[in-house]
């Protein structure tokens, strides 16, 4: 079994890119079976962690990420808006809690965090959301160690910062910052004792090898990321990747299964792209170890599945929210 090669101690080297590539090429159902076994050894297989997103600062971002609706480099119809008020954010968080979210994730279309009144306001948001009894997560772009400390002090649990794609494919997708910049921010978050949420996007025109590189990098983080979001590209008109053909659903299953095998204890989140997936494909992803989703009608700027259809799907599969007692 491949799992034997995955060292239980995360300080041991992760499987090489070549090994991960071979893992991704295995017969699909063998991979799913092994991933399901790993999943059951480390997690309650009926429990799904539920997070909800809110875009607290939308659009006008200086970065040129080729997939993103919020980059100022692309004409996507998403107009720049100022940072939301604290009250507005807390009202949305309250609603999210009522709708079954355990974690509230606030996203800002920033290249990096700048000290000043906007950052102070984000700190207030974190404090307020935490007081509502929710786990807190923010994704604000590049971050210094000092800023990470201040977020931690305000009650932040998770910092989301994705590696997005393999190192060799990164420059094809983004030119305004580097893969190493992303790694540096992850280190800053970790240095402040924050949990890290870090994953990537499938379907950016990358070869399978780049997916192997991404999974290798994620599994090389020590300790592994606490949450690993596996996003599928949501094609946004006006972006350079608007016409990228969708990936076959089996590639998503392969990435989820590999993430589960490589990072046995992490939460693997079936993230953006669920609205374009069938119930059957999602079910196989849950079998293969996905144990977290975004709930709620919207992601940041694009739609998520309807809450009623998500509730029905979880009920049909015998799954329940992780934070609700069986
Ligand atoms: N600006 C910050 C950053 O880049 O880290 C935070 C916000 S950014 C929108 C957060 C993540 O959303 C990206 O790293 C990417 O993984 C994901 N994302 C953005 N647009 C997407 C799309 N069209 N499809 C799938 N995932 C997307
Ligand atoms: C993550 O990995 N996916 C989320 C969250 N982290 C910030 C974002 C998905 C964005 C999908 C495109 C949009 O709605 O703009
Ligand atoms: Fe979008 Fe974040 Fe890239 Fe800005 S840095 S363009 S918000 S993904």
What pLDDT, on a 0 to 100 scale, did the predictor assign at position 209? 96
- From the CA of 236, the nearest ligand is 1
- Label residue 10 by pLDDT band (50, 70, 90): low
Contacts of 147 (CB under 8 A, 6+ apart): 113, 115, 119, 188
- From the CA of 267, the nearest ligand is 2
Ligand 3 near 68 CB (within 6 A): yes
pLDDT tens digits, residue range 50-77? 999 999 999 999 999 999 999 999 999 9
Q: Is residue 265 in some structural domain?
A: yes
- Site to probe by mutation for ligand 3, drawn from 65, 74, 179 as the one with most ligand atoms within 8 Å of Cβ, is 65
Count how many domains the chain has.
1
Distance (angstroms) between ligand 2 centre and the Cα of 233 equals 9
Find out whether 277 and 235 touch, Cβ atoms under 8 Å.
Answer: no
Tracing tokens 């962690």 back to the chain, one arrives at 49
Q: Which of 68, 103, 190, 254 is catalytic?
A: 68
Angstrom distance (rounded) from CA 207 to CA 36 = 25
Q: Which of 50, 61, 198, 285 is catalytic?
A: 61
- Site to probe by mutation for ligand 2, drawn from 299, 302, 304, 305 as the one with most ligand atoms within 8 Å of Cβ, is 299
Q: Is residue 9 in some structural domain?
A: no
Whether 61 is a known active-site residue: answer yes
Distance (angstroms) between ligand 2 centre and the Cα of 43 equals 25
Distance (angstroms) between ligand 3 centre and the Cα of 39 equals 32
Angstrom distance (rounded) from CA 89 to CA 85 = 6
What pLDDT, on a 0 to 100 scale, did the predictor assign at position 11? 60
Q: Is residue 241 in some structural domain?
A: yes
Q: Once rounded to an integer, what is the mean pLDDT over residues 294-312?
A: 96
Angstrom distance (rounded) from CA 10 to CA 6 = 9
pTM over 0.85: yes
Q: Which atom of ligand 1 is nearest to the CA of 109?
A: 1
Q: Is residue 326 in some structural domain?
A: no
Omega of the bond leading into 129 within 30 degrees of 0 (cis): no
Burial class (CB in 10 A: 0-12, 13-18, 19+), 28: middle
61 forms beta bridges with 71
CA distances from 321 to 2, 45, 97, 125 (A): 30, 11, 12, 24
Question: Which run of H or E residues covers position 52?
Answer: strand 47-57
Question: Which run of H or E residues covers position 27?
Answer: none
Q: Is residue 7 in some structural domain?
A: no
- From the CA of 64, the nearest ligand is 3
Q: Which two tokens stand for residue 158?
A: 């998770």
What pLDDT, on a 0 to 100 scale, did the predictor assign at position 197? 98
Radius of gyration of the chain (CA): 18
Q: Is residue 12 in some structural domain?
A: no
- Site to probe by mutation for ligand 2, drawn from 182, 229, 238, 268 as the one with most ligand atoms within 8 Å of Cβ, is 229
Evaluate if residue 183 carries a pLDDT over 90.
Answer: yes
Ligand 3 near 262 CB (within 6 A): no
- From the CA of 103, the nearest ligand is 2
Angstrom distance (rounded) from CA 239 to CA 55 = 19
pLDDT tens digits, residue range 244-265? 999 999 999 999 999 999 999 9
Q: Taking the alpha carbons of 9, 12, 16, 17 in that order, is the dihedral positive or negative?
A: positive
Q: Which range marks the domain in which residue 124 is found?
A: 18-321
Nearest CA to ligand 3 atom 6: 71
Evaluate if residue 9 carries a pLDDT over 60.
Answer: no
Angstrom distance (rounded) from CA 164 to CA 3 = 24
Residue 86 backbone phi and psi in degrees, to 5: -60, -45
Q: Is residue 132 in some structural domain?
A: yes
Evaluate if residue 201 carries a pLDDT over 60.
Answer: yes
Q: Once rounded to an integer, what is the mean pLDDT over residues 144-153?
A: 97
Q: Which atom of ligand 1 is nearest to the CA of 139?
A: 6
Find out whether 15 and 216 touch, Cβ atoms under 8 Å.
Answer: yes
Ligand 2 near 139 CB (within 6 A): yes
Q: Which two tokens stand for residue 150?
A: 């201040």
Mean of per-residue pLDDT scores for the chain: 95
Find out whether 20 and 212 touch, Cβ atoms under 8 Å.
Answer: yes
Angstrom distance (rounded) from CA 39 to CA 60 = 40
Q: What is the CATH number of the domain that holds 303?
A: 3.20.20.70
Burial class (CB in 10 A: 0-12, 13-18, 19+), 193: exposed
Angstrom distance (rounded) from CA 215 to CA 213 = 6
% pLDDT > 90, the chain:
94
Q: Is residue 137 in some structural domain?
A: yes
- Label residue 323 by pLDDT band (50, 70, 90): confident
Query: For 257-276, b where at least 16 C-beta lie within 10 A, e where not — what string?
Result: bbbbbbbbebbbbbbbbbee
Evaluate if residue 1 carries a pLDDT over 60.
Answer: no
Q: Which of 150, 182, 190, 197 is catalytic?
A: 197
Q: Which atom of ligand 2 is nearest to the CA of 107?
A: 7
pLDDT tens digits, residue range 88-140? 999 999 999 999 999 999 999 999 999 999 999 999 999 999 999 999 999 99
């Amino acid at each position: 079994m491949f799992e034997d090669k995955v060292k239980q101690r995360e300080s041991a080297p992760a499987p090489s890119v070549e090994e991960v590539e071979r893992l991704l090429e295995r017969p699909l159902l063998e991979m799913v079976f092994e991933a399901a076994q790993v999943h059951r050894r480390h997690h309650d297989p009926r429990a799904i962690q539920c997070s909800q997103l809110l875009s607290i600062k939308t659009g006008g971002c200086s970065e040129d990420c080729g997939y993103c609706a919020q980059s100022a480099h692309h004409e996507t119809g998403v107009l720049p808006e100022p940072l939301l008020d604290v009250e507005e954010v807390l009202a949305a968080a309250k609603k999210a809690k009522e709708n079954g979210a355990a974690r509230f994730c606030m996203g800002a279309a920033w290249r990096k965090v700048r000290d000043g009144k906007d950052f102070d306001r984000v700190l207030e948001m974190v404090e307020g959301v935490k007081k509502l009894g929710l786990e807190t997560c923010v994704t604000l772009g590049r971050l210094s160690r000092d800023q990470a400390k201040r977020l931690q002090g305000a009650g932040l649990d998770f910092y989301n910062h994705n590696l997005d794609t393999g190192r060799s494919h990164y420059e094809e997708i983004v030119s305004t910052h580097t893969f190493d910049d992303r790694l540096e921010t992850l280190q800053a978050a970790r240095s402040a004792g924050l949990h890290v949420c870090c994953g990537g996007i499938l379907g950016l025109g990358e070869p399978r090898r780049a997916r192997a590189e991404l999974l290798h990098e994620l599994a090389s983080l020590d300790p592994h990321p606490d949450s690993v979001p596996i996003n599928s590209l949501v094609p946004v008109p006006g972006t350079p990747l608007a016409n990228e053909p969708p990936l076959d659903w089996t590639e998503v299953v392969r990435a989820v299964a590999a993430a589960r095998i490589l990072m046995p204890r992490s939460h693997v989140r079936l993230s953006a792209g669920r609205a374009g997936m069938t119930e059957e494909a999602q079910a196989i992803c849950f079998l293969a170890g996905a144990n977290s989703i975004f709930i709620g009608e919207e992601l940041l700027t694009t739609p998520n599945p309807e809450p009623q259809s998500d509730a029905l799907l979880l009920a049909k599969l015998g799954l329940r929210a992780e934070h609700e007692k069986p």
